[in-house]
Structure 1
């Protein structure tokens, strides 16, 4: 019971921190909408894209949701650095709960924030001509939870051994953009050169975007079962690796 209570307490703190900064919520919604409206309309007007109903804007819609989840999840790892600087992380580490529970609490908090943003974007699906059914809405939210757990774990793992916000942001800048661009969020991944296709297939976000594209548009490259298996395995692996990194850094943080 103590572990569950610890996970809940850390989750609640992460949620209060997220809701306290309303400008962050607004920015995280406005930015993907700008991508959809400006990038989707501008590029969609210059190319013929008839693989899915609704054209290019509808095609990139699941990818933009994936982008929002990626950015929110992975950059939320900076909370570890802030907690370390203010001494709160020491208090968490001396609590009678496991490092895995600490990471799970933070990862669930990050995932809940991502799901809130995903919900808002799904409610705005009419802007790209997509009718969202309740089943589609629910499945997409579940997918966003799994994806954000994975990338939230990745952000926490990197933050565990990064001592400054500047260093964290520098590492993230080299990681986030390639993950997004190589996920198939903005272009079909079929027909790519072999070297580029290999990089795309090694990217876990590829399977998350493909799963949401199947759920929302009924158009995907891989079977839904394969996509869910890959992103679930990635989420479990990242959470446990993040917990391992907390154990490794325990002596220096205490």
Structure 2
């Protein structure tokens, strides 16, 4: 067990250090969500939303945080493919640590990086009139980590089945954009949607993460908080279990 914990810690630390040393990555990853928030958010609010742009920015703010966490989490798994191509993954897999610890370490590392990225978006809350206390902030970090861990595990599951990073990019983009747009990050998911879209919204695991974060930060909700957290947790657990299973089968 000691070897497993050391392996998890080492892989976690590697991902965190690589992120902190890559300043262009930090800036570019933070710039995209901020553009969505201030450029697209303000544009849509003035064109379609009644009651002022500030209300719409408050509504999409938790969704933009979730978007930042989602994209960072999923794409952190692409490093598995790079490690496979350059031989680092083979060295890790033959190390005297259980293979499941490799998947867990990568999931925790990607989750930590994604939460760091989401924290940058949290800092702009005063600019759009969103106020929350320390208790709300604490629960927001927990929800962000749960979303990040679930999505990183999902990314790892995909990466274990891919042999090239080009294939990974295609598959992830095919899944990522529908997950984001159907999550309710940019529009309400209550009454008024077509039935087929309501079905897609409810089978999208990110919908529940966005809803939980929106409840915590701005007090708006669609589902009970226990349902939101339960589905995000179950999705992450299943994705990680499958990722570990595929790692065990990796040659």
| TM-score normalized by the length of structure 1 | 0.95
State how 1:167-186 maps to structure 2 within 5 Å.
Answer: 167-186=167-186
Contact 1:146 1:232 in 2 (8 A): yes
Structure 2: distance between partners of 1:99 and 1:208: 29
State how 1:76-95 maps to structure 2 within 5 Å.
Answer: 76-95=76-95
- In the alignment, what sits opposite 1:9? 10
- In the alignment, what sits opposite 2:73? 73
Contact 2:29 2:117 in 1 (8 A): yes
In structure 2, relative to structure 1, the CA distance for the partners of 1:214 and 1:42 (3 Å cut) is same
In structure 2, relative to structure 1, the CA distance for the partners of 1:39 and 1:111 (3 Å cut) is same
Structure 2: distance between partners of 1:233 and 1:128: 33
- In the alignment, what sits opposite 2:25? 24
What is the SS of the residue equivalent to 1:189? coil
Q: Over aligned residue pairs, what C-alpha RMSD do you find? A: 1.4
What is the SS of the residue equivalent to 2:106? helix
In structure 2, relative to structure 1, the CA distance for the partners of 1:53 and 1:34 (3 Å cut) is closer
- In the alignment, what sits opposite 2:163? 163
Aligned length: 249
In structure 2, relative to structure 1, the CA distance for the partners of 1:220 and 1:53 (3 Å cut) is farther
Contact 1:158 1:168 in 2 (8 A): yes
Contact 1:207 1:231 in 2 (8 A): yes
Contact 2:100 2:248 in 1 (8 A): no
- In the alignment, what sits opposite 2:239? 238
Contact 1:122 1:137 in 2 (8 A): no
Deviation at 1:119, TM superposition (A): 1.5
Structure 2: distance between partners of 1:199 and 1:100: 32
What is the SS of the residue equivalent to 1:130? coil
Deviation at 1:221, TM superposition (A): 0.3
Deviation at 1:49, TM superposition (A): 4.3
Deviation at 1:47, TM superposition (A): 2.3
Deviation at 1:53, TM superposition (A): 10
Structure 2 residue ranges without an equivalent (≥5) = none
Deviation at 1:26, TM superposition (A): 0.6
| 1:99 and 2:63 matched | no
| TM-score normalized by the length of structure 2 | 0.96
